[in-house]
Structure 1
Amino acid sequence: MLLRTLLAGATIALLASAASAETIKVGVTPGPHAQILEAVKPIAAKKGLDIQIVEFSDYVVPNTALAAGEIQANSFQHQPYLDNQVADRGFKIVSVGTTVNFPIGIYSKKYKSFDDLPAGATVAIPNDPTNGGRVLLLLRDKGYLKLRDGVGFKPSVADITDNPKKLKIVEIDAAQLPRSLPDVAAAGINTNYAKEAGLDPVKDPILREDPKGPYVNVIAVRAVDKDKPFVAILVESYRSPEVKAFIDTTYKGAVLSSW
């Protein structure tokens, strides 16, 4: 009788816990962002937060869905990209915590070094302002281009002031860049899309961004939700020692934790 009573009590407690758990939808892009959030889920669950992961195939829809209230948070973008989206589209979205950094790389199926690219070679970059600008800044920092002074984090092709190799810069949707590699001399590809395509973001790039910089990714929520309890739990669970260990073990330097 006592055992039966204890079991019944435990069942009631579990049901009560499940009933009291808050469920949120978090938008991510496929690859590391989704994989890392899978590691976050059990940690958040212990704190009473049930995370449902929603994958988006591009960089635009996750903010649109968040602003519309279709999801409660997203984890896929760095601060300059979020700032650009807010300025261009008027989203009332804010970052509430930093997550990971994906140093962007330039890849090639045809050349072992960027120096080997011939004059007039075609280089593909992402067609969104911040990530495309990120590749242009990388090329500037490595001495292959000069850009207009004061371009900040979002230079465009129009800001190129000197192009000694006469590189032809073409803009392509970020998710499609790995597929473009057979058709171009080189392409600047975000780490999540590179890994999804089977590229090694540490060994394969012929140029790679300095991992220190402004491009640390963030968790974003609607401004009206920023002080809600689920936000603190989500950020705390993400920035846990267990998730850091998962990132270090799984990605071996291709993805870097910010804490």
Structure 2
Amino acid sequence: MKKKLLAIVIGTLMVASLTGCKKADDTESKVITVAASTTPHAEILTQAKTILAKDGWDLQVTEFTDYVQPNLVVDSGDFDANYFQHIPYLDSFNKEYGTKLVNAGGIHYEPFGIYPGTKTDLSELKKGDVIAVPNDTTNEARALLLLQDNGIITLKDGVGLEATVKDIVENPNDIKIQELEAAQVSRVIPEVAFVVLNGNYALEAGFSVGKDAVAYESSESEAAKTYVNVIAVKEGNEDKKGIKKLVEVLKSDEIKKFINDTYDGAVVPFEE
């Protein structure tokens, strides 16, 4: 009888222990950690957090101000995902740093724009004027292509997304291209004729694409759609339940409406 009673007690304790573990696992699996740029990425994620919470998901967002750490913390496994970059930059980063990050879903794109500094119209450009651009590989190429599209410079044929200032073959106004880390470009606005800004940094600088850009990528252009901003995860994690749910919510009609109502064309929902 004592042995039978002991067996029952042990069995009960094992069930309780397993049940406790299951609850802990369930709780942990409902947490999604995302590294993001402040604008617009973290703002969009804040809206998604409320929607996800209704289904029991806890979205935890940490803001970063650079373009390197968000990828490193995902590759290390410290974060589940990040939301700040487009695919060309992701591919370039993987190649340079040896990381294995993949696209789990395209969410939005941000038209690149040329914004006023000391001058307000491209026709005012004079010899020796300075235009500031981002210095990372893909964003610099994108900026230079936009300058080319507006007749400011001419690049070597076929350089495309690999373009650098060394590929400029015609520069009739002898414009100086000032290369800066992306986050620093808007800070030299009072010192240069124009700046070429990523969509999120334009927003942080208080610019509106529709109202302030002197020129910008058409939302219908293939170039703009090449730079769709994605949820990036470590290879092999793209099909995890939390990641798929996050992408689903970020592509929902509710989030699309928030984007369209908030960013005045500087951020556009991506339609696959």
> C-alpha deviations, 1:215-239, integer Å up to 9, x for none?
1111100002122111211110110
Could you tell me which residue of structure 2 aligns to residue 233 of structure 1?
A: 245
Gaps of 5+ in 2: 1-22
Matched, 1:112 2:120: yes
Query: For the pair shown, which has the larger CA radius of gyration, 1 or 2?
Result: 2
- Name the Cα RMSD after superposition: 1.7
Conserved? CA contact 1:100–1:217, under 8 Å: yes
- Tell me the TM-score normalized by structure 1: 0.89
Which sits farther off after the overlay, 224-233 or 92-101? 224-233
Matched, 1:246 2:254: no
The list of structure 1 runs, each at least 4 consecutive aligned residues, that deviate by more than 3 angstroms after superposition, is 16-21
Equivalent runs, 1:178-197 vs 2, <5 Å: 178-197=186-205
Conserved? CA contact 1:134–1:154, under 8 Å: no
Conserved? CA contact 1:66–1:73, under 8 Å: yes
- Compared with structure 1, are the counterparts of its residues 55 and 132 closer, same or farther at alpha carbon in structure 2 (3 Å cutoff)? same
Whichever residue aligns with residue 186 of structure 2, its letter is P
- Compared with structure 1, are the counterparts of its residues 19 and 60 closer, same or farther at alpha carbon in structure 2 (3 Å cutoff)? closer
Whichever residue aligns with residue 86 of structure 2, its letter is H
Could you tell me which residue of structure 2 aligns to residue 146 of structure 1?
A: 154
Which sits farther off after the overlay, 165-174 or 144-153? 144-153
Could you tell me which residue of structure 1 aligns to residue 43 of structure 2?
A: 35
Whichever residue aligns with residue 231 of structure 1, its letter is I
For 2:68 and 2:101, locate their aligned partners in 1 and report how far apart those are by CA, in whole Å: 13
For 2:147 and 2:260, locate their aligned partners in 1 and report how far apart those are by CA, in whole Å: 28
For 1:140 and 1:252, locate their aligned partners in 2 and report how far apart those are by CA, in whole Å: 25
Q: Which has the higher helix share?
A: 2
Could you tell me which residue of structure 2 aligns to residue 257 of structure 1?
A: 269
Equivalent runs, 1:28-107 vs 2, <5 Å: 28-107=36-115
Which sits farther off after the overlay, 23-32 or 45-54? 45-54
| 1:20 positional shift | 6.7
Q: How many residues align?
A: 244
- Tell me the TM-score normalized by structure 2: 0.85
For 1:143 and 1:51, locate their aligned partners in 2 and report how far apart those are by CA, in whole Å: 45
Aligned-residue identity in percent: 43
Gaps of 5+ in 1: 1-15
> C-alpha deviations, 1:45-84, integer Å up to 9, x for none?
2333211001000111111111111211011111111111
